[in-house]
Amino acid sequence: MDIEQMKVGFMDVFCYVVACPRTKEALVIDPAGDEDRVVERIEQKDLNLKYIVNTHGHPDHICGNAKVKALTGARIIIHELDDQIINSAHGHEIARQWGFTPSPPADLIVKDGDQIAVGDVSLKVIHTPGHSPGGICLLGDGNLFTGDTLFVGGIGRTDLPGASMAQFMKSIKERLFILPGETIVWPGHDYGVRPSSTIEVERKTNPWL
């Protein structure tokens, strides 16, 4: 699995390009700004972008969907519950209020336990509600892409519609912290003291947990 972490947009979102070295098939996680730079990097690496995967439906993580889809033809994937957010008039209005471009409808929806494959690389969908109803993390080859569920030394907000602190704690402790300690945590924002962490480090040091 080839992973490239890119900080994009004005909210320090971490976007990830995940590729199969053998087939050159790839997916991008949360394109959230600087779409031309992201697509240019994909082209430089001679990758065939198959999917745009959103960890959740908040505007700061889906705002690049429309442009990346238009430039590459990649299909948009999101959890079935947050698909309702990006498809609603209310969701579009919130995106515009935040200064973001609304996303087109998802092409594919996923649920807990589904696998998203590009070439020899497969990412397992782990449903982690709490920040949003359809928040997901993606696990593959010892790498965990956590979106706004788990940051380096922090967690996502729980003051937005559909959020729940109790649900959040359950998701993190019962779905993520049961993973091997060496699992690499790739967060959804550059909010920590370093750009990545491990499950063991977050279990021991994250002040929110």
pLDDT in tens, 61-73: 999 999 999 999 9
pTM of the entire predicted model: 0.95
Any idea what DSSP says for residue 187?
A: E
Any idea what DSSP says for residue 182?
A: T
- Say what the pLDDT of residue 20 is: 98
Which residues, including other chains, have CB under 8 Å from residue 146's CB and lie 6 or more apart? 55, 128, 137, 176, 185, 186, 187, 188
How confident is residue 86, by pLDDT bands cut at 50, 70 and 90?
confident
196 burial (CB, 10 Å; 0-12 / 13-18 / 19+) is: middle
Residue with the two structure tokens 């908040």: 58
Q: Quick check: 92 pLDDT over 90? A: no
Q: What is the pLDDT of residues 105-132, one digit of tens each?
A: 999 999 999 999 999 999 999 999 999 9
Any idea what DSSP says for residue 102?
A: P
94 versus 36: the higher-pLDDT residue is 36
**Rounded distance between C-alpha atoms, residue 163 and residue 169, angstroms:** 11
**Rounded distance between C-alpha atoms, residue 64 and residue 30, angstroms:** 8
> What rounded mean pLDDT belongs to the chain?
94
| CATH at residue 38 | 3.60.15.10
- Which has the closest alpha carbon to 42: 12, 57, 64? 64
- Which has the closest alpha carbon to 180: 143, 206, 133, 129? 143
Give the structural domain span for 27: 2-205
- The total domain count for the chain is 1
Structure token pair of residue 8: 């994009």
**Rounded distance between C-alpha atoms, residue 156 and residue 159, angstroms:** 9
